Amino acid sequence: MTIDDTTVLIVVDVQNDFLPGGSLAVKDGDQVVPVINRVAGRFANIVATQDWHTPKHISFASSHPGKRPFDMIDLVYGKQVLWPDHCVQGTEGAALARDLSIPQAQLMIRKGFHHNIDSYSAFTEADGKTTTGLAAYLQARRIRRVFVAGLATDFCVAWTALDVRKAGFETTIIEDACRAIDADGSLAKAWRDAGTAGVRRMQSTDLAV
């Protein structure tokens, strides 16, 4: 496995609200931190993302009277799962995990900041057209291959990896560097969709020198 300057690691949403004790805690979410810290040392290029919502964001159940977290609603752009309030801009919950150590990360992508549009993917928002600019950045940096790690496997990691494929890059999810929410079969569906799109999956130990 050669990791050269045409390869990037995208570290997705390793933020306090997704860790145990956070408002949208992913089971064992904290366990990705040491794995990511370890593999990060192998990459010359790292991009990190933060889920970065406005207060009362449209993806929050609390913004829709009578709705509860994990309910599904129809928005102008399609189906939307409703979440507990999480990753509000500038809050401690939106901060990167304290023990995450990726000082060499070159770009932070914040997503989900449009009040009326959610964004699981680091590339294209949930309306299917608003772009974060990340594909153009990776093209400008002459990137060819993308590894993805972080939280949560079945939402932001999977949607990011699918969009990496759409942007025309090779992509691999580092499975043990991710943890899932797994609501209503979402994890099985995510792996199915990823497989169909040609997303590879690998363990962090497969990256060992």
Task: List residues with catalytic annotation.
Answer: 13, 111, 156
**Contacted entry of ligand VGL, Zn ion, none for residue 61, CB cut-off 5 to 8 Å set by kind:** none
Cβ–Cβ < 8 Å for 154, 186: yes
**Of 57 and 169, which has the nearer Cβ to ligand VGL?**
57
25, 151, 177, 178: residue in contact with ligand VGL (rule CB under 6 A): 151
52 vs 117: CA distance, rounded Å: 12
- Closest contact distance (angstroms) between CB of 118 and Zn ion is 6
* The pair of three-digit structure tokens given for residue 201, joined into one six-digit string: 């999956």
Residue 147 has, within 13 A of its CA and on its CB side, a CA count of 28
Binders in 62-101 for ligand VGL, by CB under 6 A: 83
**Of 30 and 51, which has the nearer Cβ to ligand VGL?**
51
61 vs 71: CA distance, rounded Å: 8
**Of 125 and 147, which has the nearer Cβ to ligand VGL?**
125
111 vs 118: CA distance, rounded Å: 8
188 vs 149: CA distance, rounded Å: 17
The H or E element that residue 38 is part of is helix 32-40
**Contacted entry of Zn ion, ligand VGL, none for residue 151, CB cut-off 5 to 8 Å set by kind:** ligand VGL
Contact track, Zn ion, 46-85, x by CB under 5 A = -----x----------------------------------
